[in-house]
Every structure is written in C-alpha cells, then in structure tokens.
A and B are shown apart, each in its own frame.
Chain A
Amino acid sequence: MTQSTRKVGTASGRGPGVPAHPDAGTPRWVIVFGLIAAALFLVFLTVHLAGGGLHHHGANLLRASTAHSPGQP
C-alpha cells in the first residue's frame, strides 16, 4: 500500500484530509505593500492633522473667496 505524499494539517485550521495549498503563507510582496500602505496612511494622517483637519475641503476656501469678492477693500 502506498502512502500519500500530500501534506495534511489541522493546526492551521484546515480539516483533516484537506491538503496544504502550494500558495500557503503571505507572499513577500503583500507584506511590502502593507508596510508601504501603512507608511502612506501615517503621512496622510500627519498632513491632514497638521493642517487642522479637513480644512481644504471647502470651508477655508469659501472664506478666502469672500476676501476676493469684487468691491471689497
């Protein structure tokens, strides 16, 4: 009787008899992507918080526009 060479496991949550997938584990490119995304998110947060929140999303500009309205000193 031949023995199956296919790996089986239960520690990772797979049921008995379910073979280990060849793509098991998180690929390195995904980890690099995640680190870059986290760094960019921190930059985004810093830039927006340093500017006092979502100032550029309308309110400031509307105030600025009144200072430019014709007829104003």
Chain B
Amino acid sequence: MLTPALRKFTLTAHVTTSVGWLGAVAAFLVLAAAGLASADAQLVRAAYLTMDLLGWFLIVPLSLASLLTGLVQGVGTRWGLLQHYWVLIKLLMTALATLVLLLHMDPVSNLARLARETPFTPLDFHALRVQVAVDAGAALLVLLVATVMSVFKPRGLTPYGRRRQGREMALSD
C-alpha cells in the first residue's frame, strides 16, 4: 500500500493527466472540425499540422501517464484494480482508448505530412478527415464517461472483489 503522501501525489498526477488528456482531446476535436468544415485551405493545413503536434506531444504522453498513474492508484490503494466494477471498467476504457489512439495517430501524421508537402485542399481525403473527427468525438465521450465514473464511483463489487471482501470480513470476525 502507498503511504498517504505518495497516495496523494499519485492521485494528483492521475487527476492532472486524465483531465489534461480530456482537454487536449477537446482541442483536437475543435481542430478536426475546423479541418473538416473550413473552406480556407490555409486553415485546413494549419489544423492538421497542429493536430499532429498536439497528438504526439500532448495527447499520447498524457494518455500513457493517465494509464500508468491509474494502475499505480489501483494497485497501491484499497480500491484495487479488479475489485470494483467502476475501477475495472475505467481501466478497460482507458487501456482501449490508449490503444485506439496509438493506432489512429498514423493517419493524423500522414494528413499532417500531406498538408506540409502537397497542395492540400479542403476537399481532399474527405472520408479520412471525417474518420479523424469522429474518432476525436468518440474519445471525448469515453473520457467524459470515465471522469463521471471517477467522481460518482458507482457501487458494485466484482465476483473477485466479493470473495476478497468476504474473506476479510470473515477474518475480522
């Protein structure tokens, strides 16, 4: 178990990185929408160049840090990783969101490269640009749900959590 000071430090790191991730994805979504909807070629190119930077230098590091600090919080506190449904589901959502993010950064980088190297116009690669915007919207929704779960901590023990708490109650009797 973590000491109280270390627990507070990792909790602060977890909240900061998770909320930072949420904010960065919101900014990414604004850029994706601008890149999709704007008729200004310069703005569209600037949007994809910025999204590439934002993705690799802010969103990816924050997602990994959020996952890592969440794992430390789960393992190092009484909540555990597998005992409460809300912790388990949040872990699965974060891990899946990080995996999908890493897979979908490649198209963003390619769009940025095209914006840098070719006469990229607002009508090019429409399907891909729609996909990037939809991905960002879905990511924002997942992160909002994870934030709500962290705040409300809905009740419910997993079968493993029930067995473990049952053993602890039996031992304390």
Contact = CB atoms under 8 A, between A and B. Distances in A.
For this complex, into which size category does the number of interface residues on chain A fall? 20 to 34
Contacts of B170: 17-19
- B-side binding surface: helix, strand, loop or mixed? helix
Interface in B119-161: 119-120, 124-125, 127-128, 131, 154-157, 161
Interface in A50-73: 54, 56-58, 61-62, 64-65, 68-70
Given A18-B170, A19-B169, A29-B156, A58 B114 contact: no
B114 A68 contact: yes
Contacts of A65: 110, 113-114, 117-118
A2 to B, nearest CB: 15
- A-side binding surface: helix, strand, loop or mixed? loop
B85 A56 contact: no
Interface string A5-23: 0000000011001110101
Interface residues of B, number: 31
B131 A14 contact: no
A56 B89 contact: no
B107 interface: yes
B5 interface: no
B156 A27 contact: yes
B167 A18 contact: yes
A62 B163 contact: no
A14 B119 contact: no
A26 interface: yes
A70 B106 CA distance: 23
14 contacts: A14-B163, A14-B166, A19-B166, A19-B169, A21-B165, A21-B169, A23-B162, A56-B127, A56-B131, A57-B104, A58-B110, A61-B111, A65-B117, A68-B120
Interface of A: 13-14, 17-19, 21, 23-24, 26-27, 29-30, 33, 54, 56-58, 61-62, 64-65, 68-70
